[in-house]
Amino acid sequence: MAVGKIRKSDEEWAGELTPEQFNICRKKGTERPFTGELNDCKTPGTYICACCGNPLFDSTTKYDSGSGWPSFWAPITEDAVATEEDRGLFMRRTEVLCAACDAHLGHVFEDGPKPTGLRYCMNSVAMKLEPGEGD
């Protein structure tokens, strides 16, 4: 299912988000490792975008990568997230964005576990957990 785009001005986002959420999600910041409340979370459920509520990841794909950020081996659906090249900080990485509102979520790396070999390394503050049973 395709995701409809949510477009708001920086002023609108700043009025809806905490300063930390705004810095990370809208200004492409990064939280310090091992500080996010979702890093060690083992609660079953769905991780959703903190900005717009778009479902992003299922807890069954979350694993401990040792990186200090919540890590997943796959998004909840192929069209839940978008990616684009990030050449910031003098390196090439692949940025992960919410497909619905373009919030910066984190980065994806090719050093994850099977079955995908991917590590979606996300900022805790960019997501919220909707507790549930998981799939």
Catalytic residue among 49, 51, 98, 121: 121
Angle at 108 (CA atoms; ends 20, 111), nearest 5 degrees: 130
Neighbours of 75 (CB within 10 A): 24
pLDDT tens digits along 93-117: 899 999 999 999 999 999 999 999 9
Does residue 1 carry a pLDDT above 60? no
CATH class held by domain 10-131: mainly beta
pLDDT tens digits along 112-125: 999 999 999 999 99
Give the DSSP H/E element, type plus range, for residue 15: helix 10-16
Domain boundaries, the chain: 10-131
Does residue 133 carry a pLDDT above 70? no
Neighbours of 18 (CB within 10 A): 12
pLDDT tens digits along 70-81: 999 999 999 999
Burial of residue 51, with CB atoms counted within 10 A of its CB: 0-12 exposed, 13-18 middle, 19 or more buried: buried
- Tokens at 111, concatenated: 């050093």
Q: Does the annotation mark 121 as catalytic?
A: yes
Bridge partner residues of 48 (DSSP): 55, 128
Which 3 state secondary structure label does DSSP give 120? strand
pLDDT tens digits along 43-86: 999 999 999 999 999 999 999 999 999 999 999 999 999 998 87
Does residue 18 carry a pLDDT above 80? yes
